Amino acid sequence: MAIRFENGIVITLGKNNRIIWNGSVVTEGEKITAVGDAKELKKSFPVAESIDCTGKIILPGFICTHHHFYSTMARGMSVPGEPAANFVEILERLWWKLDKALSSDDVTVSAQIPLIECIRNGTTTVIDHHASPSCRDGSLDLIESAVRQAGIRASLCYEVSDRNIRGGGIAENQRFIKKVGQGDGQIAAMMGLHASFTLSDETLENCVGIAKDAGVGCHVHVAEDAADRDDSIKKFGIPTVKRLDKMGVTGKSSIFVHCVHIDESEMDIIATTKTSIVHNPESNMNNAVGVSKVLEFLNKGILVGLGTDGMSSDMLAQMRCAYLLQRLANHDPRVAFMEAPQLLLKNNPEICERQFGLHLGEINQGLPADLAILDYDPPTPLNEGNFLGHLLFGLVDATVDTTVCKGKILMKGKKILILDEERISTRSRELASQMWARL
Ligand SMILES: [Zn+2]
């Protein structure tokens, strides 16, 4: 069915960003069929359903290139004992206890909650990284059905690590990668790896072999904390990126998350191998691990995207955090104004093109109909030349009114249409309190 989203300010993004005041976007099935002046499109595209977007901005749906859906159940959870004093203690005292306690019901509901939050924030594509060692086999299927039910797109993987059992999670990834195959544009698969310091050479070799045979990339945390770098140097005599490159983990489809503690020669390896980096500023600040050298990465020609690392599903807030953090860390109020939006609006779509084979992040004829429609009546002139100013200081706080993915309206008038939000939240509270009692 064709739908006309009309009378809004359309911001197409893409190579030739156009801002169309009083514009419309027409969709049919999963694609955009027309973009242009509202009056003209009303005449030339009579449709069954039209959505009035007066006082609203129509943007392409946002993308998160590193998320952990399962982290939902940590919200409000108290961790007994002394507060974790460093990154490794945070993993040992919080995350590795939490993921081990997840049941199959927890896996489903802890995906549904952030999926609802994605829809609320106009995030229509996510690259997720999952761990649930006590409910490992089949866990990716549970998340896949939650994603399909929610109606957004997601690339999924299971976090392989030797921390509980040698090679734990390899079979789950292998099975899911085989099942997904080339993907259907909604679900994609990667080989998930925790991090160098929890993976033996033997496990890495096994994972890389499976990923290469299937033609998929690896999704791995890299040098998030100095502990990962120190471990690699101590055990293997080389820093993290060099070790991972030696083991074949680098490559155009692979995603190296964080890269806070890497040196220039490691950046060169990432650039040469066309591996992507995903920056997660809120998470890095929360874990007090340091600041990624995002501007240097970009200068080296590395494709750097933006993720939330499970902190939230709000990509505009994450973008502003990246902007503020780079300014502060570089002691330079001239930087990051272009770069932070670039990570979200240009680079995240490029990373996703490598996973889904789709051109996302742009509103144009023939492209996927993924839209985020926000309440925003610009208080100052808005044009192609000053859009980033509105984005960083206005749109970032605007409420998403309507979210569309694959041409389907998932939220309209701030009401989630396809999931029973109240029922899922009630169930999540019940399961979370039971899960906390098991810790
Ligand atoms: Zn992560």
Q: Report the sign of the C-alpha dihedral through residues 357, 362, 368, 371, in that order.
A: positive
Question: What is the structure's pLDDT at 291?
Answer: 98
58 CA distance to ligand 1 middle (Å): 30
Amino acid at 53: C
123 CA distance to ligand 1 middle (Å): 18
Give the span between the Cα atoms of 224 and 257, in whole angstroms. 8
Question: What is the structure's pLDDT at 85?
Answer: 92
**Band (47; pLDDT cuts 50, 70, 90):** confident
309 CA distance to ligand 1 middle (Å): 4
Q: What is the mean pLDDT of residues 111-128?
A: 98
117 CA distance to ligand 1 middle (Å): 18
130 CA distance to ligand 1 middle (Å): 9
Q: What is the mean pLDDT of residues 135-153?
A: 98
159 CA distance to ligand 1 middle (Å): 10
430 CA distance to ligand 1 middle (Å): 26
257 CA distance to ligand 1 middle (Å): 7
65 CA distance to ligand 1 middle (Å): 10
18 CA distance to ligand 1 middle (Å): 34
Decide if 303 contacts 332 (C-beta within 8 A): no
**Band (1; pLDDT cuts 50, 70, 90):** confident
96 CA distance to ligand 1 middle (Å): 13
pLDDT, the chain, mean: 97
Smallest CA-to-CA distance from 184 within 147, 212, 142, 213 is with 147
53 CA distance to ligand 1 middle (Å): 36
365 CA distance to ligand 1 middle (Å): 35
Q: Six-digit token pair at 282?
A: 């809120």
Give the span between the Cα atoms of 178 and 251, in whole angstroms. 20
160 CA distance to ligand 1 middle (Å): 13
Question: What is the structure's pLDDT at 36?
Answer: 97
353 CA distance to ligand 1 middle (Å): 21
Query: Does the pLDDT of residue 209 top 90, yes or no?
Result: yes
74 CA distance to ligand 1 middle (Å): 14
Give the span between the Cα atoms of 202 and 427, in whole angstroms. 41
389 CA distance to ligand 1 middle (Å): 29
Question: What is the structure's pLDDT at 79?
Answer: 83
Backbone angles phi, psi at 147, to 5 degrees: -65, -45
Residue with the two structure tokens 């359903």: 49
pLDDT in tens, 306-362: 999 999 999 999 999 999 999 999 999 999 999 999 999 999 999 999 999 999 999
Give the span between the Cα atoms of 198 and 200, in whole angstroms. 7
43 CA distance to ligand 1 middle (Å): 48
pLDDT in tens, 67-117: 999 999 999 998 888 889 999 999 998 999 899 999 999 999 999 999 999
Q: Report the sign of the C-alpha dihedral through residues 328, 65, 405, 253, in that order.
A: positive
Label residue 236 exposed, middle or buried (CB < 10 Å: 0-12, 13-18, 19+): middle
396 CA distance to ligand 1 middle (Å): 23
64 CA distance to ligand 1 middle (Å): 12
247 CA distance to ligand 1 middle (Å): 21
Give the span between the Cα atoms of 157 and 176, in whole angstroms. 8
The region of weakest confidence among 141-150, 164-173, 213-222, 239-248 is: 164-173
Query: Does the pLDDT of residue 182 top 90, yes or no?
Result: no
255 CA distance to ligand 1 middle (Å): 11
User: What's the maximum distance between 2 C-alpha atoms anywhere in the chain?
Assistant: 69
pLDDT in tens, 229-251: 999 999 999 999 999 999 999 99
